[in-house]
Amino acid sequence: MSKCPFCKLEVNLDSVQREKKGIGIFKQETLYYCPHCQSILGFSRGKYTS
Ligand SMILES: [Zn+2]
Averages of pLDDT over each 10 residues, the chain, 50 residues: 91 85 71 92 67
The pTM of this model reads 0.63
For position 10, what pLDDT does the model report?
A: 92
Identify whether 50 is part of a domain. Answer: no
User: What are the residues whose beta carbons fall under 8 Å from the beta carbon of 1, sequence distance 6 or more?
Assistant: 10, 11, 12
For position 23, what pLDDT does the model report?
A: 66
Count the domains in the chain.
Answer: 1
Identify whether 26 is part of a domain. Answer: yes
Q: If you measure from the C-alpha of residue 22 to the centroid of ligand 1, how many angstroms do you get, rounded to a whole number? A: 24
Structural domain containing residue 20 = 2-44
For position 25, what pLDDT does the model report?
A: 63
Give the C-alpha separation, 50 to 43, whole Å.
Answer: 11
Q: If you measure from the C-alpha of residue 11 to the centroid of ligand 1, how many angstroms do you get, rounded to a whole number? A: 8
